[in-house]
Amino acid sequence: RCPQTERAASTNSELFTLTYGALVTQLCKDYENDEEVNKQLDKMGYNIGVRLIEDFLARSSVGRCHDFRETADVIAKVAFKMYLGITPSVTNWSPAGDEFSLILESNPLVDFVELPDNHSNLVYSSLLCGVLRGALEMVQMAVDVRFAQDTLRGDNVTEIRMKFIKRIEENLPAGDE
């Protein structure tokens, strides 16, 4: 990459981080408690994910994943890299292979952020959980996504826990099978 491209990417990333911070601040003013703010962030993320998957599939040329492990690798190595410029590690697989953790060494959403004491239940980056849930639902995969650890809450790492719930059957109109 040339220096101008890197500088532009850095500026875009910082602008996004600061804009996201302003959004979270406004939601904290609009809603009475952190749980409601978390729900709103998740809902916004879900709506973003539903739309972002088309862009992702078009730009990445990734084909259909054959299993949840392959899905995990694509999320970590392609999607996070493409949209957030980071590559989380995929770890802590459940024995059944239906649950894993994404460990983020750094979370660009929390640059410049300190949680105030009166927002101890705020899951600042819950937008990411919604994005993942929404995007995967569009490729017929129902998942549960939650933050297990968060550096903003004093944990050493940020950990997003993902659990496969079920494959969503495509409902084709009668006669379109």
**Tens-digit pLDDT profile for residues 141-154:** 999 999 999 999 88
DSSP string, 133-164: HHHHHHTTEEEEEEEEE-GGGT-SSEEEEEEE
- The reply to whether 70 falls in a domain is yes
- The whole-model pTM stands at 0.88
- The reply to whether 137 falls in a domain is yes
- The reply to whether 158 falls in a domain is yes
- The reply to whether 99 falls in a domain is yes
Of 15-24, 108-117, 165-174, least confident by mean pLDDT is 165-174
Query: Looking at residue 131, which CATH number applies to its domain?
Result: 3.30.1380.20
H helices of the chain, in order, are 3-30, 34-60, 68-74, 80-84, 126-138
User: What digits encode the pLDDT tens for the residues 20-51?
Assistant: 999 999 999 999 899 999 999 999 999 999 99
The per-residue pLDDT for 8 is: 55
Count: domains in the chain:
1
- The reply to whether 8 falls in a domain is no
Grade residue 16 by pLDDT with cuts at 50, 70 and 90.
confident
The per-residue pLDDT for 17 is: 82
- The reply to whether 2 falls in a domain is no
The per-residue pLDDT for 118 is: 87
- The reply to whether 30 falls in a domain is yes
- The reply to whether 75 falls in a domain is yes
1-10, 32-41, 60-69, range with greatest mean pLDDT? 32-41
Residue 31: give the domain boundaries: 13-113+121-167
The per-residue pLDDT for 166 is: 95
CB 86 within 8 A of CB 80: yes
